[in-house]
Amino acid sequence: MHRPASTLWAEVMGNLADTLRETAIHLAEVSTTPRLDAELLAAHALGLERSQMLLRLTDLETPPSLTDMTDRRLRNEPVAYITGRQAFWDLDLVVTPDVLIPRADSETLIDVAVEYFQGAKAVGETGPARLLDLGTGSGALVLACLSAFPDASGVGMDASSAALAVARANAARLGLEPRSQWIHRSWTDPAWSSDLGQFDLIISNPPYVETDAGLDAMVAAYEPHAALFAGPDGLDDYRILVPHLSSMLSPGGIAVFEIGHTQAEAVSDLASNSGLSTEMRRDLAGKPRALRFSLGIGDMNG
């Protein structure tokens, strides 16, 4: 059981630099990045960017609110929920417990989309004009795509009205509201795709965790389960979504979906049965992370 942060501060009589050093030691009980966590929490408590704080570290005193924030982190609450912010792609996003925390692994999907449409431009084709993010959550994927493709407009769809409120707020903060649209809808509804039309890019990080999978404590206790779990094999939502893609993609369009690292073959089979070709991309850790679907049968690679 962790000691309250108030006891840590009693042991540290110096400035913020001393406090951060001591805090990182104790956060190592719950975090693989304890020093970074301590710095992010302190910067938020001070109302400074982390880079600004680090430049002034020896001149700053420990902010009182850091005590409560550290206690929350010691109870496994994610830093992003404590600060309400998360970096993703080139964006600074607001996040709440109503949405999954965007992770660097998911940036692989944006890399795939950008590379594909850069290749299209190289042979005289245009970039994507219309984007769709299925299960948008915080809006991370569609807003990152709108940032990468300044001539595009995007639609974010989610079954959670609370999540859509977060996504709308992020679009407004980032100046992307005029190019974005938000739809409150579940793909479990029989006619969910009938009026959406076609898209040049469909992107999604659907639920894909097996129902009985063991998760990290801070994920299991704090992140929304409806956005995580997808049946005994984690494939329930792919079985719904993938068969719709061939009718929703415009000519030359692609879909890019995140997958669990053991799911590439199973999801690729679903795509092949729906008339789609598949290419697989690994994340920076070398794990299968994204599948790119396009019209026409092909082979999985990557």
Q: Are residues 19 and 164 in the same domain?
A: no
pLDDT in tens, the chain (302 residues): 555 655 555 554 458 999 999 999 999 999 999 999 999 999 999 999 999 999 998 889 999 999 999 999 999 999 999 999 999 999 999 999 999 999 999 999 999 999 999 876 654 567 899 999 999 999 999 999 999 999 999 999 999 999 999 999 999 999 999 999 999 999 999 999 999 999 999 999 999 999 988 888 889 899 999 999 999 999 999 999 999 999 999 999 999 999 999 999 999 999 999 999 999 999 999 999 999 999 975 444 44
pTM: 0.90
pLDDT of the residue at 124: 54
Which residues are within 8 A (CB) of 166 and not within 5 positions of it... i.e. 6 or more apart? 94, 95, 96, 98, 99, 137, 138, 139
Return the closest-CA partner of residue 20 out of 31, 32, 30, 8.
8
Q: Are residues 104 and 243 in the same domain?
A: yes
Q: Is residue 109 part of a domain?
A: yes
Domains in the chain: how many in total?
2
Cβ neighbours around 191 below 10 Å, total: 7
Q: Is residue 149 part of a domain?
A: yes
Domain at 276, CATH number? 3.40.50.150
Domain that holds residue 92: 86-295
Last residue of a domain, one of 75, 108, 127: 75
Q: Are residues 16 and 163 in the same domain?
A: no
* Rounded Cα–Cα distance for residues 235 and 163 (Å): 22
pLDDT of the residue at 215: 87
